[in-house]
Chain A
């Protein structure tokens, strides 16, 4: 029911590299777990419930507040240059 292709596909969607052994293991596990999830097919129809609360219209005013300093923003990474974050190259 769940193929290796499915595992590789979802790994690509999630940007997590998996090797062949891992892919196989996940496939076997997913098979079992998804089969358990199929239990839901027996549940009666209903409206979906996105939120447990009935809250609506929660807003904030359009007033500026103090933000982080550039240092604080860049503090947790070593990939930085002249105030920018550094990222890997973008063209494939």
Chain B
């Protein structure tokens, strides 16, 4: 969409840390009652003071490195002064003109075309609390506030306004999410893990900001709706003014949040209760980054001889490629790749599970065992799938399931015998086959299946029969 300009501000909660950014409250608040993960610091009580979480900074440095950003020598926290009921101090400790890093980029693939998305900056800040309403935001007479989230460590990643379509925006977010998973700094499944503010403008019009979208799908939907809304207004000859809007997930529309509010004056100044960070030492502690997707993809190709396509898919999820590598220890890599990508992945998806869950539900060693049964011709392809599904749904050891379901395949010699028997016992069908009714072979296959109680592989049986009948 040539006339469209999109920029994103992504807030990532570093929820794999154990404590908040400036206090030692435990970060695992997601299933806890309200206001039970709070202390004088994150409640903004008078006299409390912030102390910086070292691991949070290290995690942020890792992200900046992975995003190819320029990490600054001296990093400072600033107060962003504004009022809101979810902001206990009446200011947010954030970063203004000396943030963690400037620049950076991510390469995304949109419909086969590679594009580089440039970043503007990356900085660290604290999360505010959460507001709830009895009923909806518009009718509630008061708000309910839970400060469990207040003070959680956030990373804000700002892109340059270089995306040209909602699809590109979505691709960027997906790529970003994968990178972050690889760095093991956040768990995307937890509530509030990633929030996006999307800015969109159409050539010549003002920039509209859509705040606080909490899902990737939502981002794409919001942008699509907004672009359409703006195009309609332009068609009617109206001008698009700068404004802030809110995305209504339920109705998939954007609504105006602040009407013509003057630009917020945040009156930034350095947080006097914190001292500057000199990153040199921390960078040493962070050291090298773990293997990232690109690297891993190349390595998998080189090490296992699998194709670019399979490698590409395997690295989409670090746990999937980890799983694959364990399986590939005892199973031919190409076969392992096929089964993991083409079959297992689909079965997991169907059940709404990811590969992390798969480690628990179907340990890779067990999967190797299953695949080896297949490769040793002990069970059929169909059998593999059946065992797979059974174990995923009901559990149990692979060997036991195969036994129970009597899936152990019949050796070829036995099938040969059964085929010979069937041919002898069914002369009419054989006659039909010879006289041109090729479908008669299906009947014969059926007979063999009866004799083997379904354990014979139908295709293989058909082949043996037709060879015999030649």
Contact = CB atoms under 8 A, between A and B. Distances in A.
* Direct touching of A and B (C-beta under 8 Å): yes
A73 B38 contact: yes
Interface stretch (B141-149, B229-237, B350-358, B388-396): B141-149
Given A55-B275, A56-B275, A84 B35 contact: yes
Contacts, number: 123
A64 B56 CA distance: 13
Interface in B250-296: 265, 267, 270, 272, 274-278, 281-282
9 contacts: A56-B276, A67-B24, A70-B34, A70-B35, A73-B43, A73-B147, A83-B33, A86-B144, A88-B85
Interface string B26-59: 1100000111111110010000000111111100
A84 B85 contact: no
Contact of A68 (B19, B38, B51, B276): B38
B141 A89 contact: yes
- What class of interface size applies to chain A in its complex with B? 20 to 34
Interface in A54-92: 55-65, 67-70, 73-74, 81-91
Contacts of A85: 35, 144-147
Interface stretch (B131-139, B163-171, B193-201, B309-317): B131-139
A84 B36 contact: no
Interface of B: 17-19, 24-27, 33-40, 43, 51-57, 76, 83, 85, 131-133, 137-138, 140-147, 265, 267, 270, 272, 274-278, 281-282
A6 to B, nearest CB: 13
B35 to A, nearest CB: 5
Contacts of B275: 51, 53, 55-58
Contacts of B56: 62
Nearest to A81: B144
B213 to A, nearest CB: 18
B267 to A, nearest CB: 7
A48 to B, nearest CB: 9
Give the dominant DSSP class at A's interface.
loop
A68 B142 contact: no
B356 to A, nearest CB: 22
A90 B137 contact: yes
Given A59-B57, A61-B54, A91-B138, A83 B35 contact: yes
Give the dominant DSSP class at B's interface.
loop
Contacts of B142: 86-89
Given A56-B278, A57-B282, A59-B53, 17 more contacts: A50-B76, A50-B272, A51-B275, A60-B53, A64-B19, A65-B25, A67-B24, A67-B25, A70-B35, A82-B144, A84-B34, A84-B145, A85-B144, A86-B143, A86-B145, A87-B131, A87-B145
A39 interface: no
A74 B34 CA distance: 11
Contacts of A74: 35
Contact of A88 (B19, B40, B143, B276): B143
A65 B39 CA distance: 10
Interface of A: 13, 15, 50-51, 53, 55-65, 67-70, 73-74, 81-91
A90 B131 CA distance: 9
A70 B36 contact: yes
A13 B270 CA distance: 19
A13 B265 CA distance: 8
Nearest to B259: A92
Q: Which 6 pairs, one residue from A and one from B, show the smallest C-beta to C-beta distance?
A: A59-B54, A65-B24, A84-B144, A62-B55, A87-B85, A64-B26
B18 A63 contact: yes
Q: Give the residue among B33, B142, B147 with the most A Cβ atoms within 10 A.
A: B142
Q: Give the residue among A13, A50, A69, A90 with the most B Cβ atoms within 10 A.
A: A90
Given A58-B275, A65-B24, A15 B138 contact: no
A85 B35 CA distance: 8
A5 to B, nearest CB: 12
Given A57-B278, A84-B35, A91 B51 contact: no
Nearest to A15: B83
A59 B52 CA distance: 5
A68 B33 contact: no
B167 to A, nearest CB: 33
A90 B139 CA distance: 10
B468 to A, nearest CB: 71
Nearest to A58: B275
Nearest to B279: A57
Contacts of B24: 60, 63-65, 67
Contact of A62 (B18, B43, B83): B18
